[in-house]
Structure 1
Amino acid sequence: MKILAIALLCMWVRGAVAQEERAIDNFAGVGVRAMGMGGAFVGVADDFTAMYWNPAGLAQMQQREVQVSFLRNSRANDSIFNGTPGRSELTNTRFGSLGFVYPYPVYRGSLVLAAGLTRIKDFDWNLNQKGDAEGLTADHTFQHEGEMALAGVSAAIDVSPAVSLGATLGLVSGEDEAVSEFDWADPQDQFYEQRFRARDTFTDEYKWTPYAVLGAMLRTPRDEPRYRLGATFTTGGTHKIGYVFRGPSSYDRPNPCQHLLPEGTPDSPLADNYSSVECDDGTVGEFPDEEWNNTYELALPFEFGVGASAEALPGLT
């Protein structure tokens, strides 16, 4: 037998750049009706979720509305590691939105106010890798958990019988925690170590960032419209993100299995970063984590949206 002195997979050493792209995509889906239309809701926007899609659409609402929603995630990821297939499943229930719409009584036209909290980014994700490499059996798991949410207020007003304008002002914040766990086992007893483990966490905290949506809607006729055309402008904002990384230290450490080597064998420090190493005789060496923290900024672009809808048949838009 021999001491393992090869550099194993070091996928847990990641930088902030690897995390920031998750805030660019990963849309959570706002509103069941809107998502049932594939997100083509800018030209409809006739419920509470209009505060996100097109606040001008709130002017269509004539009744008070309270909305509470939850999101159900169910997804699976398949992977192949050195020819060995792996599969991981993610199933959970998350808070979606909570909001209130209030049509303010006016003599002519429409003035509608709304306020609420809605989840706009979904960071939940996982992956499992299993297989063999360098005589070792691997069982690795990678997981993200977190979200970004918008808390805001909206107002919409009719400026003419056919045209309404609206705006949403709010704050966006959130968190994304990534956990990576690596497990290498030696089932063939090739080495004096029988198991290597490593675990690290990378947490991004998105500070409160101003967020605004400006919207306009043209509809005809005004009441129970058959045709609608909407347009929006959404600020991107610059997110200030604080991150904390915790993981195995990067310097060489004594091998806890050194005592199993023949007497007189030179010291053979560990060649990689581990959280713990288990020897063939059951001895376990555990190593403290190191922590790094810093901040960075992520600037997102402005967004423009245009949508149209038509009522082909009564009740069918």
Structure 2
Amino acid sequence: MKKIFFLICIILTGSIQLSHAQDFLQRIEIPSSPNPVGSGARALGMGGAFIGVADDATAASWNPGGLIQLELPEISFVGMGFHRTDDNDFTNNPEASGTQSVSKTGINYFSAAYPFQLLERNMIVSLSYQNLYDFTRKWSFPIYQKGIDWHIDQNVDYQSDGSLSALGLAYCIEILPRISLGMTLNLWNDWFKRNEWETKHYQWGTGEDGGDAFTFESRSIDEYSFNGFNANFGILWKINGRLTLGAVLKTPFEADLEIRHNSFVSRQYTDLGYGSVNEIDTVEDAELQMPLSFGVGASYRFSKAFTASMDLYGTKWDDFILESGNGKKTSPITGLSEAESDIDPALQLRLGAEYLFIQPKYAVPVRAGLFYDPAPAQGSPDNIYGISMGSGFAYKKYIFDAAYQYRFARNIGESILNAWGFSQDIDEHTLYFSLIVHF
């Protein structure tokens, strides 16, 4: 009986490699882009190459040093919706292979900005909300395993839902006629929306060991609550009327992470007439060390109507560490100890352009961009690429923008489920809509 119990526990917890040990040291996966970039339909229509542009209220997220370019008070709102398909390949268990899809809509960003003068200096303050990380994922697949005198036929349902967002308090000052400095204080708390996510793992099936048939059912629910704060520091330098350079640094921070865990396992041996039920409820306070990220960008205005931009942006994912209540440190990316993990920093490249069709009473922009958006993984980052395009309409004090982004990858994710010969293709389609009103 001990052998069967041990076998079931290994398979149930190992199927998607989420360890539910007492210290809760497990992987924290971000299915959406894990890189903490900015928001806005205009910026993302340009491929996210916006550090050296940063001339609307979303600059608080991209480069707060660019906020000084806002000449009028304004409010802005950004909504988004995405559809992502994971084409999963389990080489060792082909019955589990197939496509899994998920869709979601929500608020991406909103802000209010107010420029003013003090002591003959141009300044601006803004208040913003940004949705940064999304954990939405749904997988459902069968798994069949067998040994010399045993086999298990099971079904797996895995679901993750929730997001992390920050309330931003920004300030920018023009220190020289062409140079401005800015800072955004990001408060990761529950003031506007709960900063939490949840994972649910459900498995059930039948099996046989040494001629004894059994059925089983397993359910595991983990709820994570996240709280912390950090800052974005930015600088913008308008070298001349055409070339602008920008840089941003987003500080690392330690977030408080409360993990509430519930697990349930039921086993029934049909021939022996024996069964058992085991349920566990635990709560643990942990710390999640969020990594440093930084970027530089440049924009060049070829004419009043045409602007091109480029960004380089890096995140030190090797410093992304989960520390449990007992002091044990692991990489949330791999689930391995800090010493065993081999995680490299990820470096993004983003290129974008915007052309304005300017008329006496209105303007219509056309935008496009390309980007390389790698995700951290054991050994080396997974290569993820994307393209974007967008347009809009500006009339008097109203500006409406829309953007489409296609993010894709092929044969990545080996380190997610390395015991299963796993890899996946990703296709993600995202629409952004923004409205800006000047006063």
| Bin of the TM-score, shorter chain as denominator length | 0.7 to 0.9
2:127 pairs with 1:121 = no
Q: What letter is aligned with 1:32?
A: A
Shift of 1:32: 2.3
What is aligned with 1:18? 26
Most deviating of 108-117 and 239-248? 108-117
SS in 2 for 1:116: strand
Residues 47/316 of structure 1: CA separation in 2 closer, same or farther (3 Å cut): same
Aligned equivalent of 2:293? 303
* Cα distance between partner residues in 1 of 2:292 and 2:109: 23
1:46 corresponds to: 55
For residues 197-232 of structure 1, the C-alpha deviation after alignment (integer angstroms, 9 at most, x for no partner) is 21111111112x1211111111144xxx42211112
What does 1:26-175 correspond to in 2, within 5 Å?
26-27=34-35, 30-81=39-90, 82-84=93-95, 85-105=97-117, 110-134=122-146, 136-173=152-189, 174-175=195-196
More off after superposition, 35-44 vs 46-55: 35-44
Deviations 1:291-311 (A, max 9, x none): 111111122233332111111
Deviation at residue 191 of structure 1 after TM alignment: 6.7
CA 1:196–1:80 in 2, change beyond 3 Å: closer, same or farther? farther
The answer to whether the 8 Å contact 1:138/1:185 transfers is yes
More moved, 231-240 vs 23-32:
23-32
* Percent identity of paired positions between Structure 1 and Structure 2: 24
Q: 1:24 to 1:87 in 2, by over 3 A?
A: closer
Aligned residue type for 2:50: F
Amino acid at match of 1:121: Y
Number of positions where the alignment pairs a residue of Structure 1 with one of Structure 2: 280
SS at match of 1:45: coil
Matches within 5 A, 1:181-200: 181-185=202-206, 193=214, 195-200=215-220
Deviations 1:15-44 (A, max 9, x none): 533244659972475222333333322111
For 2:275 and 2:44, how far apart are their aligned partners in 1? 55
Q: Is the 8 A contact 1:87 1:128 kept in 2?
A: no
1:57-96 Cα offsets, whole Å, 9 max, x none, are 0000112221111221211122345112222110111221
Structure with the largest fraction of strand: 2
- Residue 282 of structure 1 corresponds to which residue in structure 2? none
Partner of 1:214: 233
Cα contact 2:52–2:296 (8 A) shared by 1 = yes
Structure 1 range deviating more: 86-95 or 25-34: 25-34
Q: Which residue of 2 aligns with 1:242?
A: 258
Question: In structure 2, the residue corresponding to 1:42 is in which secondary structure?
Answer: coil
**Counterpart Cα distance in 1 of 2:196 and 2:122:** 38
1:107 to partner: Cα distance? 8.3
Q: CA 1:28–1:185 in structure 2 vs 1: closer, same or farther (change >3 Å)?
A: farther
Give the TM-score of the pair, scaled to structure 2: 0.57
Contact 1:234 1:304 in 2 (8 A): yes
CA separation in 2, counterparts of 1:233 and 1:44? Answer: 16
Q: Is the 8 A contact 1:26 1:123 kept in 2?
A: no
Task: Note the C-alpha offset of 1:157.
Answer: 1.4
Distance verdict in 2 for CA 1:23–1:215, change over 3 Å: farther
Q: Distance in 1 between matches of 2:119 and 2:299?
A: 28
User: 1:156–1:166: 8 Å Cα contact kept in structure 2?
Assistant: yes
- Cα–Cα, structure 1 residues 10 and 257, in superposed 2: closer, same or farther, change >3 Å? closer
SS in 1 for 2:12: coil
Runs of 4+ in 1 over 6 A off after TM superposition: none
2:188 corresponds to which letter in structure 1? V
| Alpha-carbon distance in 2 for matches of 1:157, 1:216 | 10
Distance 1:14 1:151 in 2: 32
CA distance in structure 1 between the aligned counterparts of 2:212 and 2:60, rounded to whole angstroms: 61
Is the alpha carbon distance of 1:170 and 1:269 closer, same or farther for their aligned partners in structure 2, counting shifts above 3 Å?
same
| TM-aligned CA deviation for residue 268 of structure 1 | 5.1
Note if contact 2:55-2:70 (Cα within 8 Å) is conserved in structure 1.
yes
- In 2, are the aligned partners of 1:28 and 1:119 still within 8 Å (CA)? no
Counterpart Cα distance in 2 of 1:156 and 1:303:
20
Given the superposition, is the C-alpha separation of residues 122 and 305 from structure 1 closer, same or farther in structure 2, using an over 3 Å criterion? same
Distance 1:130 1:28, change over 3 A: farther
Larger Rg: 1
Matched position secondary structure for 2:139: strand
Q: Are the counterparts in 1 of residues 124 and 173 from structure 2 also a CA contact under 8 Å?
A: yes
Q: Cα–Cα, structure 1 residues 89 and 177, in superposed 2: closer, same or farther, change >3 Å?
A: same
Offset of 1:171 from its aligned partner?
0.8
Q: State whether residues 269 and 275 of structure 2, in contact with CA within 8 Å, keep that contact through their aligned partners in structure 1.
A: no
Which residue identity is paired with 1:34?
A
CA displacement, residues 246-280 of structure 1 (integer Å, 9 cap, x when unaligned): 1026xxx8x6556x54xxxxx7556xxxxxxxxxx
Stretches of structure 1 lacking an aligned partner (at least 5 in a row): 262-266, 271-286
Do the aligned residues in 2 keep the contact of 1:237 with 1:299 (CA within 8 Å)?
Answer: yes
- 1:227 counterpart = 2:243: yes
Cα distance, 1:126 vs. partner?
Answer: 2.5
